Structure 1
């Protein structure tokens, strides 16, 4: 059982896997028409289950990036990343597939090509495009550009160049991830935990503007990932030998997720066709990490690949090329790959909980 320090589990509420709200043309201030339809569906909307996108457009960070980060600097291009799939480093922050790959496989189109590799073969452009960039947030972070707000620009450009038509966009799924880089950047700048709720509000407001903009380009279905339990990431639990989640951090995550659901509910309350779906990662993460009967992940909070001391990370080498990290024997039995990211099996376990909920509808 993954114990949480501090008893704040009551904050987490009931397990909502995919939250959808009835919705309309987005206006964050008020509805364009006086008709308010208040049908809150706290289950999978049938529309998402029957929606079969022909393309995916992806925005976000390392949970979704499939190869946009520069080869020269990103750990995702270094050994041992990619050892499970495709067998060598390929720009994914995992031993194998990442979050983007699972809905792509579930809905049918193949994983969209990273924007950086779009010239590789124009036939791949037909599956959509991935603009996500490891390390970014909705605002600038010290380690990575372009932020999520800027990631929307190249799509606008491709639409202007008629690479994608209005019909393409209407039959597409947009996936937006926001995995907490804004918050680690904020804390690295010595922002205080006490003022963090104020900053969380700013982040969610900007995220709401970003998804409004994506919707404004013509996307009919936009899935926004909720925040995973940051208090359970190995980077957080290392100080406790990967034994217990930090409940204080997780309660702030819950605050972010509640604000995000509310921000989506506002525009979604206006008309009958819901463009916004929240993909709740928090509940399946916690469910997998708390599954005491599971032999699948015997040490769920422990990462597979870890630097030999705190100054090194997975994939790092010294000036002689000697590796400065250790990897576990079998990534399939680990939920976390490195200090921040799940393994392929970790993502599979999370997505199977989302997917089974999808199928029930």
Structure 2
């Protein structure tokens, strides 16, 4: 009996010790982000020209490299971790990378596309290119940091690469690019395993360079976005009861299913990694379905744009102007209150929607394993 009670006492102490460790929040010194326009804080603007007004006006007072009226989910992540907003790796002007870097650019897919930005609207900075940029940044930042002076203040410490949080929000453009290339939903679906393999490879490459903590968003219900609804020929029977294109959302869910399976594989392959899969799809879908219940008055209809059922026209984008009687006026103008709209410009979410999404995913309710952002360094 004594040995059993001793064993029980030791087990109880060990359980309390584990709980104590797991209750300690993670002190991430840096964020390294990879993705598309959902998390681009200035990459595409630096490479191809600034996203002009009214982008950024709800928070930054003007353009800030984001395709949004204000902050993105990645900005709220930085705020929660008490880190500065991430500067884009491609932006050389006024950038401080001491707390990480953002390699995301709007329009980026996971796999390379054989088109230019002007041909297709998709970024040449695919995920493998973003990894190459990260790898170069990792190596060269330490070389220059050792020179001291201003480099030490503007570049991350060596430990930041092993202790930092690696965030990912990418994949939607791989699906829509296939549709833009006139592939059927079934043909794009057949491409998904290869796309996921390429994503998984990049995680392994980063792990090989010392990355250990990964926060991976799945892709959202793009069948509820005006640019997809408006561009592709869809039948009346393709729409669900909420006005979203069901086959497109089913394609996104298929992608997410394989992505989640790949995360499980990665956990087995990378024993020192903490890999969190974050179901942003469910949060975004809920927002479209019950927008009014969450304080929004516009769900599918864009805040900033021009014309049509969804206030969206691919030829008259948000912020476009023209001269009328010698005066410059908006054609693609913003709505009066972006804080009540889910969608900003037919493609991207408003700051208010991004804040809603962040608040839901940050606590771990939509994560696998169910850990909050501040606990994402703990392996389960």
> Corresponding residue for 2:363?
356
Structure with greater contact order relative to length (CA < 8 Å, sep ≥ 6)? 1
Counterpart check, 1:60 vs 2:20: no
Find the aligned partners of 2:304 and 2:72 in 1 and give their Cα distance: 16
What's the TM-score, normalizing by structure 2?
Answer: 0.75
Q: How many residues align?
A: 313
Find the aligned partners of 2:165 and 2:23 in 1 and give their Cα distance: 10
Find the aligned partners of 1:54 and 1:360 in 2 and give their Cα distance: 12
Q: 1:47 to 1:351 in 2, by over 3 A?
A: farther
Post-superposition Cα deviations, 1:256-290, rounded to whole Å, max 9, x if no partner, equal 00100111101203565443211211111122222
Higher helix share: 2
SS in 2 for 1:105: helix
Q: 1:227 to 1:272 in 2, by over 3 A?
A: same
- The gaps in structure 1 that reach 5 residues or longer are 1-45
User: Superposition RMSD on alpha carbons, in Å?
Assistant: 2.7
> Corresponding residue for 2:263?
264
**How much does 1:226 deviate?**
0.2
Find the aligned partners of 1:226 and 1:148 in 2 and give their Cα distance: 15
Please give the residue correspondences for 1:65-144 in structure 2 after superposition, counting only pairs within 5 Å. 65-70=40-45, 73-74=48-49, 77-118=51-92, 120=94, 124-141=96-113, 142=115, 143=117, 144=123
**How much does 1:72 deviate?**
8.0
Q: 1:332 to 1:212 in 2, by over 3 A?
A: same
**How much does 1:343 deviate?**
0.4
Please give the residue correspondences for 1:142-161 in structure 2 after superposition, counting only pairs within 5 Å. 142=115, 143=117, 144-161=123-140
Q: 1:132 to 1:48 in 2, by over 3 A?
A: farther
SS in 1 for 2:165: strand
> Corresponding residue for 1:343?
350
Instruction: Tell me which structure has the larger Cα radius of gyration.
Output: 2
Find the aligned partners of 1:155 and 1:271 in 2 and give their Cα distance: 20
Post-superposition Cα deviations, 1:123-150, rounded to whole Å, max 9, x if no partner, equal x221111111111111234422221111
Q: 1:107 to 1:184 in 2, by over 3 A?
A: same
Find the aligned partners of 1:57 and 1:158 in 2 and give their Cα distance: 11
Contact 2:26 2:374 in 1 (8 A): no
Find the aligned partners of 1:48 and 1:134 in 2 and give their Cα distance: 36
Contact 1:60 1:131 in 2 (8 A): yes
Contact 1:335 1:346 in 2 (8 A): yes
